[in-house]
Copies of this chain bind each other. A is one copy, B any other.
Amino acid sequence: MAEDELETVVLEEDDYALDSTLFTAVRIAVAAGDKERLGELLEPLHSADIADFLEQVDSAHRREILFLAGNKIDGDVLSELDEVLREEVIEFLPKEVLDEAVRELETDDVVDLVEDLEDEQQEAILDALEDADRVAVEQALTYPEFSAGRLMQREVVAAPEHWLVGDAIDYLRETEEDLPEQFYHVFVVDPKMAPLGYVTLGKLLSAKRSTPLSDLFEDSFRTIPVLQDEEDVAYAFNQYHLISAPVVDDGGRLIGMITIDDAMGVLDEEHEEDILRLAGVGESSLSDRVIETTKQRFPWLAVNLVTAILASLVIAQFEETIAQFVALAVLMPIVASMGGNAGTQSLTVAVRAIATKDLSPSNVWRVVRREALVGLTNGVIFAVVMGVIGVLWFGTPMLGVVIGVAMVVNLVVAGLAGILIPVALERFGIDPALASGAFVTTVTDVVGFFAFLALAGAVLL
């Protein structure tokens, strides 16, 4: 591919993945120490794509790129970077580049940037800010992590309740310079600064100047308490189709605004957390190194070792039975495995329903009953299938009966454990995505092995 073709093919059009020719072209430019060419290659990229690019190369290559093209790393790129990489990149950037990058960000983005940094780096970034911005960022940092207060921007457009459309338009024209970079509503407040409603800019533009703002209020209006968990903020935006919402303090006074793009980011992160936690992986990224990744994976594997040993202790009780009838050792993993899978199915549905607030005290018993019946139905079907296979394979009719009965028992238990364990964890304030898997598979392993081996011992010997 010719060099000038390369320049245009930076993103695969259909699916936004970074084109592999870009990686090659950057590697060539870096090898040649060609600063200008490297700049040309990165220039057309969105800051989010530059961040992704830096995440996808290895750390030595990343340093070379930063060395040659550090000036392409602006505040937006820093914001988009994974936390782990962010620290690395900040450490590597020259002070003047970093200072300029930080100064061009809105305060809510600075908060997002610094909140997970270590004290020293945080201090360096705060020092780069103008006094007013620094105060704003420091105040935001006084709100708890993952609260609406950390997510909001302080710049809002507020209007007193007696204003007409004309007043609002004149005000917007006058304060042009100081308006938030992105805003979609004018918030109408009472004299105590409590939000009363909001007007979309579209309505403002199309209504007559003499219309009172309060005639144009939207139904979708909702306020967000500053201490609300960001997960609930994201839920509210998605559930009620909000575009922006005023944030209020304890006294109900307007102190900021959250916009849907930030809420969408939170929704995405929360999902990532759930999906990784369900698989027993901590917060992680592809750019993590071996040692970090090993550490993230270790705890759940350790828990799993304990539960696997627990299951083995159950098997050990039946050593004599197995010694007399080795077919049991061959078949017993099937019962445990089917239970584990059925349990994982139930628990995933339950964890997801808890996250979307669809599982409540009013319907939990109905769902429990359903899971038990589903377990029973599938249990009976697979019991028959597996019973027949057991008989054909080993030629012992009673073995078929034993594995069939054990299968039914374990699938019913799996259904029950899959719903009851996450619900119980949620009641105790533990994230059900985090811990349910370990408990559920322990239950299905123990019950599966016990039901099968105990029954076999009683019937076959």
Contact = CB atoms under 8 A, between A and B. Distances in A.
Given A16-B236, A183-B202, A280 B360 contact: no
A377 B290 contact: yes
Nearest to A183: B202
Given A238-B268, A275-B271, A301 B206 contact: no
25 contacts: A16-B235, A16-B357, A18-B357, A18-B360, A55-B358, A56-B362, A58-B366, A175-B206, A184-B201, A238-B264, A241-B261, A242-B261, A243-B261, A272-B356, A275-B348, A278-B348, A279-B345, A288-B370, A290-B373, A290-B374, A298-B378, A301-B341, A309-B389, A322-B322, A333-B333
Contacts of A35: none
Interface stretch (A90-98, A112-120, A122-130, A324-332): A324-332
A315 B301 contact: no
A: contact size bracket: 35 or more
A113 to B, nearest CB: 15
Contact of A286 (B229, B309, B332, B367): B367
A17 interface: yes
B323 A14 contact: no
B15 A300 contact: no
A66 interface: no
Given A300-B341, A363-B57, A202 B201 contact: yes
A333 B59 CA distance: 39
B363 A243 contact: no
A239 B345 contact: no
Contacts of A424: none
